[in-house]
């Protein structure tokens, strides 16, 4: 019994020396964190555009809308085209391109950019500012362009700036 008394006394003394073990804290904290992954969504309203029967007199134009939403603080949409920027007739082998590069505009046709190279930052914006803009396309036809059915694939690529 005496042995039990001494063990209990030592245990009690140990509890008194370590007050954090027996007493409850008045308050405590927890840190909560989370992450929002960056995203950009680029959507073209039309899957296809038709320039109809193209002529030298033109205007050989079409338009669609491009909608962008993003969580990036700063973003841009680049535009590029296949066939080195030329509309091409895929029926003959090899493909026959038109004489002039394909044109695109982001200001209602006030200025045109030839798609022989990627147009970086065709549209730009910031997080929380969704954007819908009109995209105009044009193909100039020359007297040297042979009859045929021509096409080009235009790609809009969004990314963080």
C-alpha closest to that of 121 among 72, 80, 83, 67:
80
pLDDT tens-digit map of 69-109: 999 999 999 999 999 999 999 888 788 999 999 999 999 99
Asked if pLDDT for residue 112 goes beyond 70, the answer is: yes
CATH code of 40-160, in short, is 2.60.40
C-alpha closest to that of 140 among 103, 109, 90:
103
Per the listing, tokens 């066939």 go with: 83
Query: Which of the pair, 91 or 62, is modelled with greater confidence?
Result: 62
Could you give the CA distance from residue 23 to residue 118 in angstroms, rounded to a whole number? Answer: 68
DSSP letter string, 89-134: E-SSSS-EE-SS--EEESSTTSS-EETTS-EEEEEEEETT--EEEE
pLDDT tens-digit map of 42-51: 999 999 999 9
- Domain residue ranges in the chain: 40-160
């Amino acid at each position: 019994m005496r042995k039990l008394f001494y063990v209990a006394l030592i245990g009690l003394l140990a509890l008194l020396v370590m007050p954090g073990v027996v007493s409850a804290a008045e308050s405590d904290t927890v840190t909560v964190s989370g992450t929002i992954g960056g995203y950009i969504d680029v959507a073209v309203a039309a899957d296809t555009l038709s320039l109809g029967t193209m002529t030298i007199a033109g205007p050989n134009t079409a338009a669609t809308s491009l909608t962008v939403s993003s969580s990036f603080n700063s973003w841009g949409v680049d535009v590029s085209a296949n066939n080195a920027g030329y509309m091409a007739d895929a029926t003959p082998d090899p493909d026959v391109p038109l004489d002039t590069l394909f044109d695109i505009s982001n200001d209602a046709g006030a200025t045109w950019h030839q798609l022989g190279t990627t147009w970086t930052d065709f549209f730009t914006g910031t997080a929380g500012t969704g954007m819908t803009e009109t995209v105009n396309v044009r193909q100039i036809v020359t007297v040297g362009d042979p009859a045929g059915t021509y096409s080009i694939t235009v790609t809009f690529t969004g990314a963080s700036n």
